[in-house]
Every structure is written in C-alpha cells, then in structure tokens.
Structure 1
C-alpha cells in the first residue's frame, strides 16, 4: 500500500536511516551470524550494506565429452565448477578464501571482475557497494573501484615498459609517479625497473609489480589471487601488511591464498572453499580451535596446520 502523505513517507525514510545507522554501529561478535555468515569484531556495514556481496553464484562451462564417442561425435556437457557460492566483504576487512588447488577460487575472482569465457554460463547475484551488478558493469569497475592482483604474471603486457603499466593512463601523472616510486621502494624494486619490459623481470619482481599496479589505483576493493608465491617471507609479510593498512583505511580485500598461516595473520574472516563453494565463512578468531569451527573440512584444515602437527583426520 502506498504512503498516504509526504509526512508518512518522510517518517518511513527516517526510520530506515535510523535502522541503517544502528546496524552499522552494532558490534559484531564472532558468533553473531546473519547474511549467512558469522562476523569478526571489526565487521560493519557502511551505508547499511556490504562492500561486496556474492549470492548463489554458479559458473558452468559447456564442454565436449570425448568419452561419450568419437572426437567429432562427442556430445556437449555442462561442467559446473562453482556451485551456489555466497561470500561477502565488509568495509574495513580482509576476507581470506582458503582451499585446495583446482577448487575454483580463481574463477571466483574472475566472476567478480566480470571476466567470463565465451563458453561459460553464469548465474547468481553480485552487489558492489550496495549496487546490483551485471557482467558489463563489473567489467567497467576493473581499475575503477575494484583492483585485481592476478595469480599469473602473464597479466603484464609484454610490449609495454613496467613503469608505464604501473602508472597507467589516468589521473595526475606527477602524483602517480610519486606513488609508483613509493611502492617500488616499499617492495624493493629499483628505479631502473621503470624502464624494463616484463620479460626482463624475475618472477618475484613481476609479482611485486602486479602488487604496485593494484595499489596505485586507489580502489575500494582489492581482489588478490595468490599474491605472495615467489616472494620471500619479508616481502610477503610486507604485501599483506599493505592490504591490512588498505582495509583499515576503509577499503576491503578478498584474499585468495593457499597460505593459511599468512592469511590468519592479517585477515578478519576466513571463507573455507571446497568443491566449488564456500562451506564455512567465519571469523579468524574461530580458527583458534577446531571446536569453534563448524564444517568438517574447516576442522581438517586446522589440524593440517604446521603448529598442529600436520595431523590428518577422517
């Protein structure tokens, strides 16, 4: 039923504003569950919504099943890689996605960036900063709100010098040069790297350049897909500390990683990924004991950590 007067409409809007303010100000204990996940103490909903919210994401690929007949007579089948996945990132937090190789974690990153293969079928809903997105709008957000730290160093343009790739082509050139120099110093990259092509970089140097490319864009959300392989421990810690600082200043980070120990060091919450979906999304504090974890696979990951003796449980 429509409001009868402008006064009633104004009162309703005022109530909604108060509800949003109360929700945002509420302290979220690690055991507090809503929106399908538990919260870390730092979790809050700026503007009354998540920075990133993915609901029921399913990604399938149309492929030929060569086992069904000859090469030319093979039938097409749908191979589902991500199944009804839901995950969220609040303003000011790092959410670490952990799980086995080949479980679809990188595909999650691609979906958030609107990177879909021609034979992919995608369903579900993705909100960014409270706005429902589609593939076109997600693609427009790449480098304009959402930055990706890709898993592969092949994302660097082989025909463009490193400095030009890091600085990009938008914003104030002088400001971006200053920021590039700061990032290079932070990650132990000499100024001479500016004039090199990607093929002249070591694997570790290329990965540090990718970090600089993401951080220079001043995004709201960073999707970091395995950002630390190839880095020594000190540089890996520095990179994650930069993500922590970025989140503490009001951004959000979705950190996809195999390194659970490093993830637990900086993250606020952990999303446990198995068989193409998130089986548990919980506060880092709950990884202090298997008794505070819910899913059997989460408990297995806890027991497999070095400090717990790499114990394998059924």
Structure 2
C-alpha cells in the first residue's frame, strides 16, 4: 500500500554561514551570520521561519537556493529529497525544483514588459519558444491577472499586481519548494491576507513553502509549523497550536516573548531572560 504521508523535501542540518571580509590594510576577518540553523519542509505544508531582522533567515533561504555570494563560507548539511546537495547542485535546482518569491518588486526588470519577463521565466523553466507565450499567459491567469497585463511594464502595475506577477514568475517551473522571503512588509492588511492565502494554496496544491518573515501574527494564519530564529540560530520548532494562551506550550523564552508581544496579547515587552 502506498503511503499518503507528505514526502520530505528540504532538510537543513546545523547550517553555519560566515562571510570573509577585508579591513584596512587588507586584514581579513570572518563575520558569522548563521550558526547551526536547522529546519525541514515537507510537501503540502507551510513552514514559517520567524525572527527579527538580523536573525539570519534570508541568508538561510539564499543558501538553500545556492545563491550565497562568493565570500560566503558554509558548514553543515542541506539535503534535498533525502540526498545531500552541494551549492552547485542547489543552483541547478533553483528555478525548476526550487523557487524564490522575493520581498521586493524591484526584482522585476523595469525596462522589460511583464510578457517578456514571463516568457523568459518559462524558457528557463524548460518550455520551448512556441509554448512559452501560452505558459506565460496561463501563469498570470492562475494569479488572477488578465492576459493584457503581459503588455505592461512594471511601473504600470499596482503593488498588488506586481506581487502577483512575481508569484507567477516564481511558479513558472512548477517548483516543489517555494521560498517566500518577507512577502508582506508594507502591505495593507487585506493585501497581507491575499499574499498569505496564495502561499497556503500553493502548499495545498502539493508544494512545500518556506515562509521567511518577522511577522509572527500573520504567519500563524497559514503555517503548519513555526521555526523561531534569533541572532543566526534556530531556537525551537513548534506547531502553530503551541502559540495559544500565554505561550506556556512553547519551550524557549524568546518564542514566548514573540507571542506575548503581539497586539492581541497586550504588546507585552520581553523580559531580560528571553534570550
């Protein structure tokens, strides 16, 4: 009998990332950014990686995609569908098996039409020239956008439309894993709901979603599990149900502090032991 349990897609074990930099006099120094971070993502689930700015969340996401800069040095292990994958292998997976949904709409080329960018994304995902145009239109329709949007430039789009275009481009190759890096800052509440609901639908359709965010409250609406990070380390992993009451089900003081600081919990300030 075939198991219907979701398959493991991504496993990150004790990932550390340091950057080599040069000071005056060409003295080299090493700057730690991530220290022994771990998490996993399965099919059909949303895992929220939550923490304040500087927690190393986006660096982990870029490491998974093989997109760290040349001066980065990483240790630990990243596994894809159970097999260890090096940075070069991860770069080959990006755009097909894995995809980035970036934070800023500045990732769109301001000089090219949406159609040109969508057709290029389709070709990079493996579609031929003859099918790229149809795939581009299909991808936009799936995000609730009319085919006429293909003729527009990014500056002609509203903020919500631009984010839908980014989502369409990210999903062009039908990736098994989508990494959404801070997709909601600065959006109106109704737009936040729309973006997160789209991520939930992506997971419900069979993909895994790693939601990188500093906004715990909205993430709890759609996530299955929450991984809490601080200062380059993952502190704990908890089911969404643990974020209830006073947070007594959470293991780490910092996780409880994040939960209690939400508006519905009275904006309680973290104590000195929440570290």
TM-score normalised according to structure 1 size: 0.77
Question: Which consecutive residues of structure 1, in runs of 5 or more, have no partner in the other structure?
Answer: 1-17, 26-43, 66-70
1:63 maps to 2:21: yes
What is the CA RMSD across the aligned residues, in angstroms?
2.1
SS in 1 for 2:36: strand
Describe the shift of the 1:229–1:192 C-alpha distance in structure 2 as closer, same or farther (beyond 3 A): farther
CA shift, 1:311, in A, is 0.5
CA shift, 1:174, in A, is 5.5
Give the Cα separation in 1 of the matches to 2:190 and 2:170: 19
Report the equivalent of 2:206.
250
SS in 1 for 2:69: coil
Describe the shift of the 1:195–1:296 C-alpha distance in structure 2 as closer, same or farther (beyond 3 A): same
Structure with larger Rg: 1
Query: CA deviation digits over 1:138-164, x for unaligned, max 9?
Result: 001111110110123232233322122
Report the equivalent of 2:261.
304
**Contact 2:177/2:209, CA 8 A, preserved across alignment:** yes
**Contact 1:98/1:258, CA 8 A, preserved across alignment:** yes
1:227 maps to 2:183: yes
1:288 maps to 2:247: no
Query: CA deviation digits over 1:238-283, x for unaligned, max 9?
Result: 2222221221222100001122111000000000010101101111
Alignment of 1:88-237 (within 5 A): 88-167=40-119, 168=121, 169=123, 170-171=126-127, 172-173=131-132, 175-185=134-144, 189=145, 191-237=147-193
Report the equivalent of 2:233.
277
TM-score normalised according to structure 2 size: 0.87
Report the equivalent of 2:35.
83
Report the equivalent of 2:12.
54
Give the Cα separation in 2 of the matches to 1:255 and 1:218: 17
Question: Which consecutive residues of structure 2, in runs of 5 or more, have no partner in the other structure?
Answer: none
Query: CA deviation digits over 1:161-207, x for unaligned, max 9?
Result: 2122234223233641442341352xxx5544322233444544433
**Runs of at least 4 residues off by over 6 Å:** none
Give the Cα separation in 2 of the matches to 1:305 and 1:266: 17
**Contact 1:204/1:230, CA 8 A, preserved across alignment:** no
**Contact 2:78/2:84, CA 8 A, preserved across alignment:** yes
CA shift, 1:220, in A, is 0.4
Give the Cα separation in 2 of the matches to 1:195 and 1:262: 33
**Contact 1:264/1:284, CA 8 A, preserved across alignment:** yes
Describe the shift of the 1:144–1:237 C-alpha distance in structure 2 as closer, same or farther (beyond 3 A): same
CA shift, 1:285, in A, is 0.7
SS in 2 for 1:292: coil
